[in-house]
Structure 1
Amino acid sequence: MELSEEWKSFLPVGSSTVSPLHLSNSPSLPLGPLLFNPNPNSLSLLFSSPSLLPSLHLPPHLLPSRFLLSSHPPSILPSTASSVASLFSSPNQNDAASPFLRNRLHLLTYPHRPYALLFFPAGDNDHKLAFFTLRFKDSRFHIQLDTNHDVFYASIGSAHRILNISINPIADFGFTVNDDDDDDPSRVIGYLLATTLYSVHWFAVRHNQILDRPSVVRLGGKIFKTCPVVHACWSPHILEESVVLLESGQLFLFDLESCGSDAGFKGTRLRVPWNDSGESKVWLSCEFSWHPRILVVACSDAVFLVDLRLKECIVSCLMKIETLRRYAPDENERFLALSRAAPDNFYFAVASTSVLLLCDVRKPLMPVLQWMHGIEGPSFMSVLSLSNLRSHSREDAFKLASESGFCILLGSIWNCEFNTFCYGSILPFRKGSVTSKINPAICAWELPFEINLSGHECHCGKCLLRKEFSKDALPEWIDWQLKKEIVLGFGILSNKLAALLCEPDENGGFTLIRLSSSGRFELQRYHASWAHARDLEDCHDQVLCLDRHLLYPMSDEKYKFPKNFIYLKLDYLYSYASGRLTQFLVTKLEKICKYANDEEPFCAEVHELLCEKLNSCGFGQLRSCPAVTSVFNDIKLPSSLHEVALRRLWADLPMELLQLAFLSHAKCHEVVGNLDNNRVALEFLAVPDLPQLPPFFLRKSSTHSNDDIVGPIIPFPVLLVLNEFRNGYSNLEGGEFSVEAEVGLRYKEVMQVAGEIAVSAFGPTHLDEHAVSLAEDGEETWVGSSKPRSFMLYRPVSFKSTAADHVQEKFVYSDTNYDTFISHVQEKKSTKQIESVGQEIFDDLSPVALRFDAPVKKLEPLSLKAYDLLKRQMSKWQESFDSYKDFCIQSRF
């Protein structure tokens, strides 16, 4: 079927096997070789310095959800990781890649001398503009540095990181062929602007003929205090003009001639009517179009043409992201990069998440050409003439194609991936072709192809496989880019300088200068080829050098302290995590029992303290099966029923095992001395003075004395298995005993008793059908059951919940082992005001009983006055907080 040129442009190259705007090499279409391979023999090191390593304080590659416990089994505690993580970042967002979105190296060639300047950010925070000169002499390039054999520096006047650099060369100004006779010893060879997050700075690049060295003079800057800078670019029409785009969509025009140092860099705000949608858009970039007062501005979902020639600005839409939905149906599709394009300033190129478009401002909403680029997160784009990439050729057979063809270089610096997209006119290769009135049938020349900018990586199957295995071997919180030497910036040397360096290639090529993450400036020649060079013999071993290249701040100072490594055996933890703790301990204990002594370790001090704690909570010395109600007497602060079940199990353990779990702090030093002379800090919390059951919750950490009793030093699952082994139960050998099952049985028991003795704040308690009621058991009868219940059951709910959520059970956590809490409610006492009262005066401020870990003191009249003020403020808050009032009504407090 014959399609018009307009319809052909809607079929992206790469979306189908046959594209109507795709030309392949054939005898009738002598396009020439369009693949570019690095020449390993041309690789040379220009300059290297550890001080040029990028100053990048990169966070680990971790999503916020990793820092929170997962709410899915088998987590220890519940968490709202999935809901909280979505508030901070997108799953596809990578903060570590943000410093690598733009090219860090920029070249400025002298007009009539074999010199070139290389600019890049440097300094402790990349806040300085660094540069050095590349000079061709004696058939090779030489580096010109300052008197300290370091690169030249120019300050931007602040300590903020330079994010982008843009150079505007002066092609025919500043130098003449016989410039030595000129009266001006310092000529301007170009202008430069550097942007930070909130500022833009302008510089003039000069060359001092007397000192024969370059200099960069700061002309001024502009700080935008309320809005970040998105993009800044030079005008291709007026040398001294530039435009700045802010994150809010505001545009500012600056003219270096009118913005002198005395007048200040105020700029002119361009009144662009973005309507109501301008403030909510994510702005991307801006470029000058064919007229000095016509701009192309891109945001994440549209590209606009801004016409400022008249008094009132006119804004029209050139491209919408909805246009790409047919070939890019992903909802996250958005524009990512914008650039001016050839053959003239009417064209521009824009890249989205999956599609690259070549557009014409004279044909809105209708792309001239499209490609499916297949690059992950493209952020860099540059349009070059094919003659620059195939220069210095021995053959002239493809000269016509080189002069009329163009190439879009698109890629991601962070992902080390770059592709070239060649295009040009069908004419003059095909006679009698149908052309439109605007463009002479622009077509894609060959399919997109990858270009290896690192220059020394082998792409054979063996090396690619090793590379993927090396990536998988890294921990998930480390990006492989941080471990690999990547290209942070690059520039293509001009044709005149490249021709001085090397002999002509068969089909032409270009010379690349790159800045690597190891601080190396390298020069390498690329030649045009008919096929990719997949196998590079000298580069088989350079896949991932994980030990040499780290994109983290490095210090020149050597580590002064000795490095001692202590290896921990985590076999117990691994066995517990895999559900094999019982079998593992039984095997260990059987071996130990053969060599064990009859004498058991006994510490009278620890024994006396533990007996005192248990007796204070209602457990006598003879406790074959402690009453579950005594465990409830130990509840002083709100506790989950799972915690109460654990206390019950702790109280069931015999005294011999409890003494294994707790020891004197002085004994810790003896344990340290037995660990192969390597001192290990064994820090455990001290047993509190307040009467409570083990494992003694809510303890404060402090410096211990040798008289303190600390612990538990043995995990409870291990103690539980030891207790079963001590009792000689046979089901241990077959692995039938389960710590989780034992905890579950005690939890059901505690849940049943709690439902009988506590007031529920969320309606009738729904108990497990297998739970057994203890109401009829005489030994387990709740003391004083005829009195009002002094416990309250409740479940935490989100702060946005209502009273109806309690009935519908829309709770924060769905795990029934942890979502139910029990709290002791204090008894109502006389409210008569007495002269001196104690801490019990705070009981009527909260529905739960308050306990203070402090000596009992009486409150004096001045303290009572402060208490009255606190009580009034507390009451005012309680009356205005609806959720609290609903909670008190439900719990009948």
Structure 2
Amino acid sequence: MEIAGAMDFSDEWKSLFPINASCTPPLLLSGSSAESILGPLIFNPKPKTLIHLYSSDSLLPPLNPHPNLSLPRFIVTSTHDAPVLPSTASSVSSIFGSEQQNDATSTLIYNRLEFLKYPNSNSVIVFFPTGGNSEQVGFLVLHVKVSDVDVQLDNNDDIFKASTGFSYRILRISANQVANSVFRTSKSTGNSFSAIGCILVYTMYSIYWFVVGIKTLDSSLERPSLIGMGGKKFKTCSIVHACWNPHIREECVVLLESGGLFLFDLEPYFKSHSSNANVKGKRLRVPWNDSVNSIEGIWLSCEFSWHPRILIVARSDAVFLVDLRLDECKINCLVKVEMLQLYVPAEKEQILAFTKASSDGFYFVLASGSFLALCDVRKPMVPVLQWAHGLDRPSYIHVVSLSKLRSHSKDSAFNSASESGFCIILGSFWKSEFNMFCYGSPLPTPTGSIVSKLSKTFRTLYAWELPSEFMLSGHECHCGTCLLREELSKDALPEWIDWQQKKEIVLGFGIMENDFSSLIFESDEFGGFTLIRLMSSGKLELQRYYASWVSVKNVEYCLEKSTHLENHLLYTLANEEYKFPRRFKYLKLDYLCGNLNGNLTELLVAKLKKPCNGPQGKESFSQEAHEILCEKLNACGFGRLRSSSANSAVFNDVSLPASIHEVALKRLWAGLPLEVLQLAFSSYSESLEVLVDDKWVALEFLDVPDLLQLPPFVLRKSSHRSNKWSKKVQRSDAIVGPVLPLTVLLVVHEFRNGCSNLEEKQGRFSAEEELIQQCNEVMQVAREIAVAASGSELHNNHAVSLADDREETWVGSPKPKPFVLYHPVANNCSTMAHVQGRAVNRDKIFDTLISHVREEKCCTSDKTESVGKEMFDDLCPVELKFDTPVKTFGPRGLKAFNVLKRQLSNWQERFDPYKEFQSKFEKG
């Protein structure tokens, strides 16, 4: 009992119970008794306070408009035979880590708006990325007046722009207020530039600095301007985060994905009052050892702590305190992700967002996939507060004083709570979800009292009420009808369209200063704040929020809301309208649909049973095309009569490495009678044309090559014409094809053999099963002619020598060429693992390869230098074929060939997969 009592009164023990994850969290102030002290902590958009400031395509991010599926949605939509639940797909995708960073989600991680206040003025500069690739810094000025806001643009009524000099996409902009400095920009005109601050802009691999100021033209006109101070490129590692030093305003630190830290000093620039000064930077020697620098950890962010040489660096699995005050850097672990996994069953819990929580540098906030934690650098490994946030992969986190959110109030009863309280805004721009988490002292004390001063050093912090939803866009209505309507609209969208591209979402926001808000709006009962937000439709808006006891439904928007999501595609639209007429063609692809659905046989048999009364049925095939096909098949070893020599011909046709699937396809093609092949290969004069827009258009096919091959003639040149004949390109009589797919020909062949029960379920013919059977037969033939040669062992070398055929199983055929059957090293399993008895695994028929071994030519006493195609024989262990006339090389050609041959040999010796590939042939 004594231990339990001690644990009950321990702050460390209480902090282990997350808010929203336990029934009665010990560090939660809630209920009617707390309301009378804390005041209202829910913020709703105030009706009829929305002000449209500016709209332009320059405010839109250039996201990829092409549809793409996320990994969970790909898993769900790609498994039709065995449906997968969305929860299962999400759990599977989580094993592979985060998704690609070059999509819309990675672009919308950061807040796209950044504010810098004019000193001693009611004006603020708003910065944001702009340009075709967000490679420029765009900005405009908001001049706050009584009940109004003026937007200052450039002379062309467009936003101000400043270029970094490169086309790299800007990821984030950070502003910093500095002391006023005057720069002389022109001696002849006397124009001056008064600096009011500076900004840093970083892309994936570079960072740039700008001085922000007011340029005075002709002693009368003032306009904001940016002057570049230079930049730094990192060639080997990308930038993860960059931040200003709050203690020394002219310094900033950069964190790389490798964990490297760089400190840059802008003080020489401001001291010289010249734009020619260089920004000094140095690498901070932080000894990340193996225990700290985990392979799985991903560096996230960094912030300055309570001292200008103490940093807080966050990674996906831990948070570290880096002390650089002495010559030897000291690293202490503040947080491990394991301490957040007490209530999480998943093993892959990671830190997703991090930021500093107060100006003193002691407190910081981090968010994982499930929890939000408030921590103190003075209490390592123990969170001060925890919440179960319930958000989907939050990426944005920001801490703001409650006095800023409840400013300009009529009722002063809760001013003490406002001064001592804070609010954490957590969410995701891409998911369009944000929540507010309020916290502060257990009992707010009057500002300036002794108790208040002592509590700022070491104090117990409590969560104030449960988290509340933050309607950032101001347009949501979360009543049951609106939520159901929105979910139904999402389900109606195609699988490759993200609903975020159809709905207007917020891309960035900022809270105006309290003195600015008082000029525009009247005071509220319990106070409020004024929000400036950037919408995905390219609009910059301003709206007032007020503190309330309950979340109020947006009835006005609810009544006007459409039943479907609107189009707000998140990419810059082209300035020109689409010039060409929009025409839609509808094709009847019944055969393709039948093949995909597995009922091609029934469809074809039903068509074949119907007599053809059209002109196509009376046309006869060209006798010349028939003879050409016969000659090509005879040259490859196929006579008119099929026999066991077909196996030998198919294997002898394999020159380059081919899979079991490819050999089986060739065997099916070569096994078709000439009457059926006549349907697949014909001349252009026999090819039917298609009626498109009342015009007959010729179809496009490939010519049958002169190089000896079996159908479907894989090695051939591309066509030299389009689908329209012209005076320059006349209609030729070349043999082309295949004009029909193999699956159709197999069904026609079975139908011609008199199989009348093809439509019946019991005797239904399947082209897919026929292919699998052929793959089994190809493997069986390979195993029958496989003998141990040259001491090769199948189990050890993944290779089978087909060189010796002592039993001469191919009757009536010459001895086959040496073969090698092998499996690439890209797969960890052996070749024998893909063969079970006499059947081949369906998933492995594509990566079990078979190939010829090039025949060694007899060496003669007269060594003559090769000048023809034979000089390429020793470049590759497989047999090479050339579909080109024989040419001889001169002295210059031989010299160039020898240089290229040496380079190829060097590459072959260094490339391990090729060496492994070549060893199969040597052992065979």
> Is the structural similarity TM-score above 0.5?
yes
Aligned partners of 1:51, 1:686: CA distance in 2, in Å? 51
Contact 1:235 1:242 in 2 (8 A): yes
Map of 1:193 onto structure 2: 200
Map of 1:480 onto structure 2: 499
Aligned partners of 2:13, 2:384: CA distance in 1, in Å? 10
Map of 1:851 onto structure 2: 881
Map of 1:222 onto structure 2: 231
Map of 1:798 onto structure 2: 825
How many angstroms does 1:121 deviate by?
A: 1.7
1:23 equivalenced with 2:47 (yes/no): no
Aligned partners of 1:644, 1:163: CA distance in 2, in Å? 51
Aligned partners of 2:65, 2:825: CA distance in 1, in Å? 34
Structure 1 window deviating more from structure 2 (321-330 vs 495-504): it is 321-330
Map of 1:697 onto structure 2: 714
Map of 2:172 onto structure 1: 164
1:367 equivalenced with 2:383 (yes/no): yes
Map of 2:163 onto structure 1: 155
Map of 1:771 onto structure 2: none
Map of 2:212 onto structure 1: 204
Aligned partners of 2:897, 2:522: CA distance in 1, in Å? 92
How many angstroms does 1:522 deviate by?
A: 0.8
- Which secondary structure state, in structure 1, belongs to the residue aligned with residue 472 of structure 2? coil
Map of 1:125 onto structure 2: 133
Structure 1 window deviating more from structure 2 (867-876 vs 543-552): it is 867-876
Contact 1:29 1:429 in 2 (8 A): no
Which one-letter code corresponds to 1:459 in the other structure? H
How many angstroms does 1:714 deviate by?
A: 0.9
Pairs within 5 Å for 1:734-773: 734-735=760-761, 736-757=764-785
How many angstroms does 1:375 deviate by?
A: 2.2
How many angstroms does 1:409 deviate by?
A: 0.9
Q: 2:12 aligns with which of 6, 19, 25?
A: 6
> Residues 888, 458 of structure 1: CA spacing in aligned structure 2 closer, same or farther, 3 A cutoff?
same
Map of 1:883 onto structure 2: 916
> Residues 67, 237 of structure 1: CA spacing in aligned structure 2 closer, same or farther, 3 A cutoff?
closer
How many angstroms does 1:395 deviate by?
A: 2.3
Pairs within 5 Å for 1:106-117: 106-117=114-125
Which one-letter code corresponds to 1:523 in the other structure? L
Structure 1 window deviating more from structure 2 (689-698 vs 756-765): it is 756-765
How many angstroms does 1:645 deviate by?
A: 3.7
Map of 2:430 onto structure 1: 414
Map of 1:338 onto structure 2: 354
> Residues 813, 43 of structure 1: CA spacing in aligned structure 2 closer, same or farther, 3 A cutoff?
farther
Deviation sequence 1:20-78 (CA, Å, 0-9, x none):
0011131454222211122342222110112332233477535799999x999999xxx
1:34 equivalenced with 2:41 (yes/no): yes
Which one-letter code corresponds to 1:783 in the other structure? G
Which one-letter code corresponds to 1:501 in the other structure? I
Map of 2:185 onto structure 1: none
Pairs within 5 Å for 1:224-263: 224-226=233-235, 227-259=237-269, 260=272, 261-263=275-277
Contact 2:834 2:841 in 1 (8 A): no
Which one-letter code corresponds to 1:522 in the other structure? E
- Which secondary structure state, in structure 2, belongs to the residue aligned with residue 647 of structure 1? helix
Q: 1:54 aligns with which of 61, 79, 102?
A: 61
Pairs within 5 Å for 1:656-735: 656-668=675-687, 671-672=689-690, 674-677=691-694, 682-703=699-720, 706-735=732-761
Aligned partners of 1:447, 1:692: CA distance in 2, in Å? 74
- Which secondary structure state, in structure 2, belongs to the residue aligned with residue 522 of structure 1? strand
Contact 1:758 1:792 in 2 (8 A): no
Which one-letter code corresponds to 1:33 in the other structure? P
- Which secondary structure state, in structure 2, belongs to the residue aligned with residue 689 of structure 1? coil
How many angstroms does 1:425 deviate by?
A: 0.8
Aligned partners of 1:340, 1:253: CA distance in 2, in Å? 19
Map of 1:323 onto structure 2: 339
Deviation sequence 1:537-573 (CA, Å, 0-9, x none):
4246657976632123321012223333322333212
Q: 1:782 aligns with which of 780, 802, 811?
A: 811
Structure 1 window deviating more from structure 2 (436-445 vs 9-18): it is 436-445
Q: TM-score scaled to structure 2, two decimals? A: 0.82
Runs of 5+ consecutive residues of structure 2 not aligned to the other structure: 83-88, 183-189, 722-730, 796-804
How many angstroms does 1:860 deviate by?
A: 8.0
Contact 1:409 1:421 in 2 (8 A): yes
Map of 2:86 onto structure 1: none
Deviation sequence 1:222-263 (CA, Å, 0-9, x none):
314344433332333344343333344344444443344454
Map of 2:800 onto structure 1: none
> Residues 708, 239 of structure 1: CA spacing in aligned structure 2 closer, same or farther, 3 A cutoff?
same
Which one-letter code corresponds to 2:627 in the other structure? E
How many angstroms does 1:580 deviate by?
A: 0.8
Which one-letter code corresponds to 1:556 in the other structure? N
Contact 2:311 2:321 in 1 (8 A): yes
Which one-letter code corresponds to 1:128 in the other structure? Q
Deviation sequence 1:60-102 (CA, Å, 0-9, x none):
535799999x999999xxxxxx9xx99x974644531222111
> Residues 795, 542 of structure 1: CA spacing in aligned structure 2 closer, same or farther, 3 A cutoff?
farther
Aligned partners of 1:168, 1:138: CA distance in 2, in Å? 27
Map of 1:521 onto structure 2: 540
Pairs within 5 Å for 1:426-825: 426-428=442-444, 438-539=457-558, 548-593=567-612, 599-621=618-640, 628-632=647-651, 634-668=653-687, 671-672=689-690, 674-677=691-694, 682-703=699-720, 706-735=732-761, 736-757=764-785, 782-783=811-812, 789-798=816-825, 805=830, 815=843, 817-825=845-853
How many angstroms does 1:135 deviate by?
A: 2.1
Runs of 5+ consecutive residues of structure 1 not aligned to the other structure: 76-81, 176-182, 766-774
Contact 1:684 1:712 in 2 (8 A): yes
| Aligned length, in residue pairs | 856
CA RMSD of aligned residues (A): 4.4
Contact 1:297 1:306 in 2 (8 A): yes
How many angstroms does 1:484 deviate by?
A: 3.0
Map of 1:179 onto structure 2: none
Q: TM-score scaled to structure 1, two decimals? A: 0.84
How many angstroms does 1:391 deviate by?
A: 1.9
> Residues 827, 311 of structure 1: CA spacing in aligned structure 2 closer, same or farther, 3 A cutoff?
closer
Deviation sequence 1:801-857 (CA, Å, 0-9, x none):
7xx956777999874644554444566653224769764676576654433222345
> Residues 312, 463 of structure 1: CA spacing in aligned structure 2 closer, same or farther, 3 A cutoff?
same
Map of 1:143 onto structure 2: 151
> Residues 115, 856 of structure 1: CA spacing in aligned structure 2 closer, same or farther, 3 A cutoff?
closer
Aligned partners of 1:844, 1:196: CA distance in 2, in Å? 49
> Residues 637, 64 of structure 1: CA spacing in aligned structure 2 closer, same or farther, 3 A cutoff?
farther
1:134 equivalenced with 2:142 (yes/no): yes
Map of 1:79 onto structure 2: none
Contact 1:48 1:519 in 2 (8 A): yes
Which one-letter code corresponds to 2:770 in the other structure? E
Contact 2:198 2:209 in 1 (8 A): no
> Residues 344, 651 of structure 1: CA spacing in aligned structure 2 closer, same or farther, 3 A cutoff?
closer
Aligned partners of 1:156, 1:862: CA distance in 2, in Å? 49
Which one-letter code corresponds to 2:29 in the other structure? L
Contact 2:652 2:817 in 1 (8 A): no
Aligned partners of 2:367, 2:72: CA distance in 1, in Å? 31
Aligned partners of 2:163, 2:900: CA distance in 1, in Å? 56
Aligned partners of 1:91, 1:836: CA distance in 2, in Å? 58
Which one-letter code corresponds to 1:646 in the other structure? L
Map of 1:180 onto structure 2: none
Structure 1 window deviating more from structure 2 (869-878 vs 700-709): it is 869-878
Structure 1 window deviating more from structure 2 (733-742 vs 676-685): it is 676-685
> Residues 717, 73 of structure 1: CA spacing in aligned structure 2 closer, same or farther, 3 A cutoff?
farther
> Residues 542, 194 of structure 1: CA spacing in aligned structure 2 closer, same or farther, 3 A cutoff?
farther
> Residues 835, 545 of structure 1: CA spacing in aligned structure 2 closer, same or farther, 3 A cutoff?
same
How many angstroms does 1:112 deviate by?
A: 3.7
Aligned partners of 1:544, 1:234: CA distance in 2, in Å? 46
